[in-house]
Amino acid sequence: MHPSNIVLLEFHPERDELCYGKELRDGLSVALRMGSSLWLANDESVSIERLTVCEVDSTGRSSFTRDHRQYALHDYLDLPVPAHGATEDDINEADIEGLACDGKYLWLAGSHSLRRKQPKDGDGVRKAHKRLASVSLDANRYLLARIPVCRDGDGYTLEKESTRKGKLRTAAMLRGDHQGNELTALLRQDEHLGPFLSIPGKDNGFDIEGLAVAGKHLLLGLRGPVLRGWALVVEVALVEDEQPGRLRLAPVDDDGCLYRKHFLDLGGLGIRDLCVHGKDILVLAGPTMDLDGPVTLFRWRGATQPGKECVVAADQLERVLELPFGHGVDHPEGIALFAVDKDGRDTLLVVHDSASPSRQIGDSTLVADVFTLPRRERPLASKPAK
């Protein structure tokens, strides 16, 4: 399916350069629109980007042409690896793969994944073998955090601390250390997920790439592992810890369980992003391995109120869109509800990893796609797990 419109994402040229010569616009991993603010992140950065919607014409074509503001995560959160002094062996990227908002906080999720080195052009056999045997743990990737959001004109900004209606809200992250966090420690004992915590993300290992708010809980969509064709969503609840700036896991049910698992039959695909749409969740599905496609958008009905663990068969998911993808470039990676068109239909913004040269304009502008969502089909009930 071809996009119905495009959006021009205009970054500030002085903030578009990342470490190791990569540009910010080359690899957008996530998107979230709140009012006139569009929040974005690059998976090799340690910051969140805000662009402001400044033009929307009658066709729905829009430009983000002012107020690119960069929010360094180290200004809000006590990340394990410091902002300065990172080397190739001490990467400080947070690998942000999930953004969501509950009206009070912007929630962020890092990939929580291990990284395997990639052979480079010109490597001999011995060096290529060595690179492919090298697996690293990047401590900042184990990030599950919140930052208070505040109104800023028609949009929003972030604050480390904010008082609203007499209640103090503070930035905080799930407690952990350089080896992981409370969630990964718990999942290492899980019968489905435990074996995959020691496998790199692009090898079908554990890899968070979607985040959505479901009432007072969070849903974490996993790119991997995919088990016999079934993708997973992990449901958690976080509350403030006694230590300032830290959160801890809380029970998600009356039995005291600290997480739930939901299995979705996405036909062998993993989850690349999650987006709340009313009571439903739109699931961006793509390959768990390092492949180009296919990429499909599904609707998981009633997912913002799961209630109990569920197993959702393929015929219970609405297949919404088949998204285009490139060969080695233009991999759909992040989705966000964008606007309502003249016919009253919602539209969806899609941003891409490995953006192709054809999407790049000038020094710091990127073309993103907008798709019109079809009318919703009749609802189907998901099956609770036995």
Q: Are 42 and 48 in contact (CB under 8 A)?
A: no
Cβ contacts of residue 99 below 8 Å, gap of 6+?
30, 31, 32, 39, 41, 48, 106, 107, 108, 109, 211
**384 falls in which pLDDT band (50, 70, 90)?**
very low
Distance CA 263, CA 222 (A): 10
Mean pLDDT value across residues 77-101 = 79
Q: Other C-beta atoms within 10 Å of 136: how many?
A: 14
Looking at per-residue pLDDT, the higher value among 16 and 258 belongs to 258
Phi/psi at 77 (nearest 5 deg)?
Answer: -130, 150
- Among 253, 262, 192, 210, smallest CA distance to 232 is for 262
Does residue 18 have a pLDDT over 60? Answer: no
Distance CA 174, CA 330 (A): 32
Residue 126 parent element (H or E)? helix 125-132
Give pLDDT tens digits for 153-183.
999 999 999 998 889 999 999 999 999 999 9
In this prediction, residue 306 carries a pLDDT of 79
CATH number, domain 5-384, options 2.115.10, 3.40.50, 1.10.10, 1.10.3470: 2.115.10
Mean pLDDT value across residues 340-362 = 91
Mean pLDDT value across residues 13-33 = 76
The share of the chain scoring above pLDDT 90, in percent, equals 74
Which strands sit side by side in the sheet containing 296-300, from one edge to the other?
270-277, 280-286, 296-300, 318-322
